[in-house]
Amino acid sequence: MYHTIEGDLSTEELAANRRDQTIDNENNRFRDETYYSSREYHLGDIQVPLLSVANWGGICLHLRGNVEGWTWAGSDLKYLRFITGRHDLPFYYTQEVKIQRSFLDAFLKGEDREGWSVKGKLPPIDLVLRKGDAEVEQQYSRRTENEWPIARTQYTNFHLTPEGKLARSLSTEKQCKLSYRALGTIEEPQLLGFETAPFEAQTEITGHAVAHLTVSVSPYATSENVPSDIDLFVTLRHISPLGREIHYTGTAGDPVPLTKGWLRVSLRKTDPAHWKHRPWLPYRHYTSNDVQPVIVGELYAVDVEIWPTNVVVEAGGKIVFEIASGDTQGSGVFVHTSPRDR
C-alpha cells in the first residue's frame, strides 16, 4: 500500500492503493501488457553511484535482479556485493552496516574513507564463497573480483545420461527418452535427477548456468484432456562427500539448494540478436507475441536460464541437477499453485 508522510489517507484510499502480487501475476502475464510495461525502465539511465547487495540464498526473490540490475545500470561507479543469510537480518549485521554507512557517507557527505568515489580504487565485485553449510556461513571467506561474470570462468558442459548421471563427456550410446508426470507439488514432487561423479579435487562454481533440454508432452492414457504447455522447474543441489545434501539459508530462513530456474515452454522463444543475449543467459522478451504452440508429441529444444550461484565443492562432493514439473524443496513461500495459471 502507499501512504503519505502525514498518514492522512482514508481506509478506502489505502485499499485502492494496495496490491496483491499473486493476484496481479494471475491477471497480467506478458511484458507488453500495461501492468508490466508501465513499470519497466531503462537501466542504462541510472547514473548515480550504486551498491547492489545480492544474496546467494535469495534464489526465488531478488538475486537475479540484483545481478542484472548491476550489470546494466549506467552508473560509472557501481559495486556488486554478495552476501548470505536471511533476506532481512544481514542488513543489520555490524560489518554490513559499516559498509552501507561507508558507501553513503562517501556520496552523501563527501566523506570517502574507502575510495568508493575513485574509479578503480575498489574492486567492483565482492564475493562470499559458500564452503560448508549454513551453520558456518558467518565464517565464509570473501574475495574481490574486477568483473562479473569472472573473466577466468571455465564454462564446462555436462550431459544427461539415461542412468541419471551428469557426465562431462558425451556418450555415443543411442539417445533415449526419460519421462515424469506433470503437475508435481512440494508434497508429491515429479522429477528426474542427474548426479555428477564425485569431484576429484576441490572446485569452485561461481556464475551463471543454463540448461539445454529437448522436451515433449503427452497426455495421460486415461485422460481426455489434451496438454497444451509444459512448465519446467530445474534445481541445482550440492551433495557433501558424506552423501547428504548441503542446504543454505533462504529468504525466510528456510533451507534452500544452490539455485533454481524456470521456463514455460510456450515462452521458449529467445532473441539471440538482442544486445543482452549471452550464451550463458538467453534473452527473452516475454511478450504476448512470443507465445508459441506446444503440440503433443512434438520435440522442442529449449534453453532454461538458471539463476547465478556460488559453491565450493569439496573433493568427493557432487552436484545434482533436477528437472521437475512443479515446485520442489527449496521453493519456500514462492510456490506455483494457482489453479488459474497451472
The answer to whether residue 330 sits within a structural domain is no
Could you tell me if 314 and 197 lie in one domain?
yes
Sequence-distant (6+) residues with CB within 8 A of 255 are 134, 247, 248, 249, 329, 330
Could you tell me if 213 and 130 lie in one domain?
no
State how far Cα 272 lies from the chain centre: 20
CA distances from 59 to 143, 187, 239, 248, 307 (A): 21, 20, 18, 10, 7
Could you tell me if 316 and 249 lie in one domain?
yes
Instruction: List the domain range (segments joined by +) for residue 237.
Output: 159-324
Q: With a cut of 60, say whether residue 146 has pLDDT above it.
A: yes
Mean pLDDT of 24-50: 95
Nearest to 321 by CA among 159, 198, 207, 199: 159
Q: With a cut of 90, say whether residue 172 has pLDDT above it.
A: no
* The pLDDT of residue 342: 74
Helix (H), strand (E) at residue 309? strand 300-313
Residues above pLDDT 90, as percent of the chain:
88
Between CA 311 and CA 154 the distance in angstroms is 15
Q: Which of 145, 178, 208 is the last residue of a domain?
A: 145
Could you tell me if 221 and 190 lie in one domain?
yes
The answer to whether residue 34 sits within a structural domain is yes
More confident site: 23 or 52: 52
Could you tell me if 299 and 198 lie in one domain?
yes
* The pLDDT of residue 17: 86
Q: How confident is the model at residue 223 (pLDDT cuts 50, 70, 90)?
A: confident
Could you tell me if 30 and 121 lie in one domain?
yes
Per-residue pLDDT reduced to its tens digit, 77-122: 999 999 999 999 999 999 999 999 999 999 999 999 999 999 999 9
* The pLDDT of residue 3: 57
Nearest to 58 by CA among 337, 335, 332: 332
3-state SS assignment for residue 44: helix
Judge contact between 289 and 32, C-beta under 8 A: yes
Mean pLDDT of 300-307: 99
The answer to whether residue 154 sits within a structural domain is no
The answer to whether residue 340 sits within a structural domain is no
Please report, as a single letter, which amino acid is at residue 322.
E
Q: With a cut of 80, say whether residue 1 has pLDDT above it.
A: no
* The pLDDT of residue 2: 55
Could you tell me if 285 and 180 lie in one domain?
yes
Q: How confident is the model at residue 145 (pLDDT cuts 50, 70, 90)?
A: very high
Q: How confident is the model at residue 175 (pLDDT cuts 50, 70, 90)?
A: confident
For the ranges 151-165, 229-243, 257-271, 328-342, the lowest mean pLDDT is seen at 328-342
Between CA 250 and CA 24 the distance in angstroms is 24
Could you tell me if 319 and 174 lie in one domain?
yes
Could you tell me if 140 and 166 lie in one domain?
no
Could you tell me if 139 and 227 lie in one domain?
no
Mean pLDDT of 134-150: 96
Counted domains in the chain: 2
Could you tell me if 204 and 319 lie in one domain?
yes
Judge contact between 136 and 129, C-beta under 8 A: no
Between CA 215 and CA 168 the distance in angstroms is 21
The answer to whether residue 77 sits within a structural domain is yes
125 φ, ψ (degrees, to nearest 5): -115, 130
Between CA 104 and CA 101 the distance in angstroms is 5
Per the listing, cell 484510499 goes with 13
Q: With a cut of 80, say whether residue 252 has pLDDT above it.
A: yes
Mean pLDDT of 142-146: 99
Query: What CATH number did the domain enclosing 217 receive?
Result: 2.60.120.260
CA distances from 50 to 47, 77, 83 (A): 8, 6, 16
The answer to whether residue 336 sits within a structural domain is no
